[in-house]
């Protein structure tokens, strides 16, 4: 192995790691290159074949309808429901007795659920939702800690044809309020609170505050998880366990799964974009189920006997696709953990890999860098020999972190699947498979059926090694269908920069072997510890503070978090810049947005670089902060 200077940068390396004969022998896909070629020859035939591995109430008439680009439709005419594939078909087989979920709380409590048990709870809760008047197409906001009821709530919503909008439990009052209001949810499902890093996060309290700012939804369902005192408003708020104990239907534990059109909405998920409010990315039942299932099965090579652990939160797309839906559709056993990786010690994750015999472990570069800091003695205290595959997502993984993960967690026998994808893509777009040769720091090549490229401003492919914009040139089944309530924004954000191509918002390089190297976002999205935050939403949170007149936020490289938030603030006339104010502003952002949005650095300034039309030139702020050339500033007004 080559010696390399430690670096956060995702520098291109020529080191290649080949899979062992043993890995190739047991891989679901033995020869990824051949499958890629076959799929490229006939994309529709490839996806139709994968769709046939699932159950449908009625088969589709058309695999892909391209008549109204970019509003592509998949498996048109097909009737299905993702829950038909995630639960119903398994409970008819021996898998009813297989564990669907193993869950450990931060305090160490263990709960397990077979497919039968999970299905029973989902049916019961689906009946609860129906009894509250929720039906097909209604929106349901889910704001939860990482507990089994989060999955139950999502699946129950999907089962009755309603649309879930999960808001990450780490978000706070203003972020939650905006998302409830925009989705016009009829009901909110939450918990009294959750455990995180030894602290109690009081979610119901945050819900109460958010609801004071918005037209209240009709009902709030509260899971008792911590057992803390909460305010329950009569006629609006109900305890989950009390509702679940009611005899709701004559069928009791049964609930028919709603027959959906393949193109009916399954969920919306808010994510940050370049301008304005977060946008609600809309995914549908039919294509999404095919995409997430096929990619999980091929890339993470899932086998019946595997124990799969994706460390994400169900509140992000990674959790939707690869904690909830894909593993269940694949009939896998998943592990989920409530709390922080370092609680009470930095070996918490390694302890649980050993304890539960995890075989496939999917995490993030930030987590790897964070745990790497504590040294290899922590993982070395544990027997991690059950592992056979590792994974990474959310941001570029720097080769140094990749190698540490490979050596100290995978013990040089577990290939690392670096998966590049987005909330919008729904499923992996770029990823190796276990039989692929790997280059540390590269998400390797597009998944079969995906056509990716790196282009210049004019939309032309750039030469190998040159930096450019990452685009996708063909539609795929799990792609977003639109931005909820805003189809124009869908078209203009993703399909107008390069006509006919999906613009991902990332810059990348393709090397001479066709391997892709993701560099980072080219828009105003900041990836903090892999979490996606928008400058516009952060800036509006800053100016709700009484001392702030104007705010500009940028992301700058950070050793652990990948990127960190730097805020430039202009204060109102009667406010003095001082340490106490900085602390107060940090608290304000944590309260409005959530702890992940806490700025790394706050600087008070007298003016901000703006264009003549008043747009903040964040590019200039970034260049100044990094001591670089400010580039073309001819439009600068400041």
Residues making contact with ligand PRX (CB under 6 A): 271, 317-318, 393-396, 418-423, 443, 504-506, 518, 521, 527, 532
3-state secondary structure of 619: helix
Nearest to 600 by CA among 571, 550, 559, 541: 559
Instruction: Please state the closest distance from residue 401 (CB atom) to ligand PRX, in A.
Output: 12
- Our CB check for ligand PRX shows the closer of 420 and 542 to be 420
- Our CB check for ligand PRX shows the closer of 597 and 608 to be 597
Measured CA to CA, the distance from residue 73 to residue 60 in angstroms comes to: 11
The answer to whether 397 touches 367, Cβ cutoff 8 Å, is no
Whether the bond between 70 and the residue before it is cis, its omega within 30 degrees of 0, is: yes
3-state secondary structure 354-373: HHHCCCEEEECHHHHHHHHC
Instruction: Please state the closest distance from residue 501 (CB atom) to ligand PRX, in A.
Output: 15
**Backbone phi and psi for residue 557, each to the nearest 5 degrees, phi listed first:** -55, 140
Instruction: Please state the closest distance from residue 433 (CB atom) to ligand PRX, in A.
Output: 15
Residue nearest to ligand PRX (CB): 423
Instruction: Please state the closest distance from residue 39 (CB atom) to ligand PRX, in A.
Output: 21
Sign of CA dihedral 257, 259, 262, 267: negative
Residues 6+ apart with CB under 8 A from 327: 296, 302, 308, 310, 333, 334
Instruction: Please state the closest distance from residue 396 (CB atom) to ligand PRX, in A.
Output: 4
Neighbours of 250 (CB within 10 A): 6
Instruction: Please state the closest distance from residue 595 (CB atom) to ligand PRX, in A.
Output: 17
- CA Rg value for the chain: 24
Measured CA to CA, the distance from residue 260 to residue 81 in angstroms comes to: 6
- Our CB check for ligand PRX shows the closer of 220 and 533 to be 533
**Backbone phi and psi for residue 447, each to the nearest 5 degrees, phi listed first:** -65, 150
3-state secondary structure of 528: strand
Instruction: Please state the closest distance from residue 532 (CB atom) to ligand PRX, in A.
Output: 4
Beta bridge partners of 98: none
Q: Tell me the two tokens of residue 15.
A: 């080191």
Nearest to 609 by CA among 594, 591, 589, 631: 631
- Our CB check for ligand PRX shows the closer of 194 and 432 to be 432
**Backbone phi and psi for residue 461, each to the nearest 5 degrees, phi listed first:** -60, 135
Instruction: Please state the closest distance from residue 443 (CB atom) to ligand PRX, in A.
Output: 5
Which H or E element spans position 141?
A: strand 139-143
Measured CA to CA, the distance from residue 436 to residue 34 in angstroms comes to: 12
Give the strands of the sheet with 279-284, arranged side by side. Answer: 237-239, 219-223, 187-191, 139-143, 163-166, 265-271, 279-284, 482-483
Instruction: Please state the closest distance from residue 470 (CB atom) to ligand PRX, in A.
Output: 8
- Our CB check for ligand PRX shows the closer of 327 and 394 to be 394
- Our CB check for ligand PRX shows the closer of 470 and 581 to be 470
- Our CB check for ligand PRX shows the closer of 420 and 604 to be 420
Instruction: Please state the closest distance from residue 421 (CB atom) to ligand PRX, in A.
Output: 5
- Our CB check for ligand PRX shows the closer of 121 and 395 to be 395
- Our CB check for ligand PRX shows the closer of 105 and 398 to be 398
- Our CB check for ligand PRX shows the closer of 172 and 425 to be 425
């Amino acid at each position: 192995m080559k010696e390399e200077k430690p670096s956060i940068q995702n520098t291109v390396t020529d080191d290649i790691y080949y899979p062992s004969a043993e890995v190739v022998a047991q891989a679901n896909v033995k020869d990824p290159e051949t499958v890629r070629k076959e799929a490229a020859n006939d994309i529709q035939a490839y996806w139709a074949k994968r769709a046939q591995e699932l159950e449908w109430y009625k088969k589709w008439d058309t695999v892909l309808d391209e008549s109204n680009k970019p509003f592509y439709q998949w498996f048109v005419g097909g009737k299905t429901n993702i829950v038909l594939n995630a639960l119903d078909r398994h409970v008819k087989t021996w898998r009813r007795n297989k564990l669907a979920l193993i869950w450990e709380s931060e305090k160490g409590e263990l709960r397990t659920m077979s497919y039968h048990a999970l299905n029973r709870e989902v049916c019961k809760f689906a009946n609860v939702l129906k009894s509250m008047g929720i039906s097909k197409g209604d929106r349901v906001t889910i704001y939860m800690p990482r507990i089994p009821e989060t999955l139950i709530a999502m699946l129950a919503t999907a089962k009755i044809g309603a649309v879930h909008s999960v808001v990450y439990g780490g978000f706070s009052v203003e972020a939650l309020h905006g998302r409830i209001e925009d989705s016009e949810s009829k009901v909110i499902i939450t918990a009294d609170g959750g455990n995180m890093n030894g602290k109690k996060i009081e979610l119901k309290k945050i819900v109460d505050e958010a609801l004071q700012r918005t037209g209240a939804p009709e009902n709030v369902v509260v899971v008792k998880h911590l057992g803390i005192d909460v305010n329950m408003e009569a006629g609006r708020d109900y305890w989950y366990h009390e509702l679940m104990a009611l005899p709701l239907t004559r069928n009791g534990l049964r609930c028919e799964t709603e027959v959906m059109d393949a193109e009916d909405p399954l969920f919306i998920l808010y994510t940050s974009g370049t301008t304005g409010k977060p946008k609600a990315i809309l995914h549908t039942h039919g294509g999404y189920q095919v995409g997430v299932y096929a990619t999980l099965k091929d890339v993470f090579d899932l086998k019946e006997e595997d124990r799969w652990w994706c460390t994400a939160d169900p509140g992000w797309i990674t959790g939707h696709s690869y904690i909830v839906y894909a593993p269940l559709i694949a009939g896998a056993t998943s592990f989920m953990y409530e709390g922080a990786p370092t609680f009470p010690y930095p070996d918490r994750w390694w302890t649980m890999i050993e304890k539960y015999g995890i075989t496939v472990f999917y995490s993030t570069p930030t987590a790897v860098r964070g745990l790497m800091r504590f040294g290899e003695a922590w993982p070395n205290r544990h027997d991690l020999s059950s592992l056979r595959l590792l994974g990474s997502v959310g941001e570029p993984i720097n080769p140094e972190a990749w190698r540490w993960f490979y050596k100290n967690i995978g013990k040089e026998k577990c290939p690392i699947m670096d998966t590049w994808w987005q909330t919008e893509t729904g499923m992996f777009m770029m990823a190796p498979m276990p039989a692929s040769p790997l280059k540390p720091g590269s998400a390797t090549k597009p998944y079969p059926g995906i056509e990716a490229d790196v282009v210049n401003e004019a939309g032309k492919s750039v030469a190998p090694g040159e930096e450019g914009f990452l685009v996708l040139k063909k539609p795929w089944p799990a792609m977003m269908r639109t931005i909820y309530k805003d189809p124009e924004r869908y078209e203009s954000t993703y399909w107008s920069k390069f006509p006919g191509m999906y613009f991902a918002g990332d810059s990348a390089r393709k090397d001479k072997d066709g391997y892709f190297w993701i560099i980072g976002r080219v828009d105003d999205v900041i990836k903090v510890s892999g979490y996606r935050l928008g400058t516009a939403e952060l800036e509006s949170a800053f100016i709700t503070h009484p001392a702030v007149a104007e705010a500009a936020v940028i992301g700058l490289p950070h050793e652990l978090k990948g990127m960190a938030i730097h805020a430039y603030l202009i204060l109102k006339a009667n406010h003095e810049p001082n340490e106490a104010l900085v602390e107060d502003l940090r608290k304000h952002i944590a309260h409005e947005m959530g702890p992940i949005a806490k700025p790394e650095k706050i600087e008070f300034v007298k003016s901000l670089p703006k264009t003549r039309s008043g747009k903040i030139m964040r590019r200039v702020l970034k260049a100044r902060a990094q001591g670089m050339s400010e580039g073309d500033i001819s439009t600068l007004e400041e």
